[in-house]
Amino acid sequence: MPVITFANTKGGAGKTTAVLLLATELARLGFRVSVLDADPQHWITRWYENSEGARGNRLHVVPYVTMSTIDRQLAEEKARADFVLIDLPGSRSSLLAKAVGHADYVLIPVQGSAMDAQGGANVIELLQYLEDKANIRIRHSVVLTRVNSMVTTRAMNAVKDLLAARRVHLLETPIVERSAFRDIFGCGGTLYSMDARQVSNLDKAQENARALALEVLRQIPSAVSVDGHGMKEVA
């Protein structure tokens, strides 16, 4: 089953938000999803513990994943899930190299800043090293995070220019700055269990998450969807 690793060596790039949005949306689409929480901040684990409605609803979170446990935990989750997502620390580490090596697809969240771009570049350099030295080519994309839907900044344009110059694939769907994406970690649940009367632009947040999930699925040739009649390929 496909393994998607989320990586950026700089903390605060929106990595865990991207993991949560994709995991919950894939589960909503009918996939069985496991998330390996290797981030020392454990935000995904805290969200899961606070989200009774998400438990058993095709979504499982494995807490406290480390360098010494990831191989076993990954094998266990691949045996029962349609997708395994790995949330990594925002730093350089041997765990980063191992998790990237296990990946079928690497998603690199980047905010519109030079520091985030450099953190993403570190991951891209690792992927290039694996291809050059070990002939291991891993599909990967950058997803822009915390994007202001009303403003295009000079820094954001600089990041896009840098990615284009390095011929790095950029997802067409950015993760827009939405209050729902912040609130979900505090209140638990999913974008579909939140109260639209208390969260502004909740419908747009839902649309954003769904568009992200569908685009990611298109990047993974082996992706499958589940319906009442079994398995079928995603177009």
Tens of pLDDT, residues 99-130 = 999 999 999 998 866 677 778 888 888 998 89
Model confidence band, residue 59 (pLDDT cutoffs 50, 70, 90): very high
Most confident range (mean pLDDT) of 20-34, 110-124, 182-196 is 20-34
Pairing of strands 33-37, 83-87: parallel
Q: What is the pLDDT of residues 70-79, one digit of tens each?
A: 999 999 999 9
Q: Helices in the chain by DSSP H: which ranges?
A: 15-28, 43-49, 70-78, 94-102, 114-134, 154-165, 179-187, 202-218
pLDDT for residue 60 is more than 90 = yes
pLDDT tens per residue across span 129-159: 898 988 989 999 999 998 876 556 666 677 7
Q: Domain limits at 169?
A: 3-233
Query: What dihedral do alpha carbons 22, 180, 43, 67 form, nearest 10°?
Result: 20
CATH of the domain at 77: 3.40.50.300
* Number of domains the chain is built from: 1
**Residue 36 pLDDT greater than 90, yes or no:** yes
Residue 43 exposed, middle or buried by CB count within 10 Å (0-12, 13-18, 19+): middle
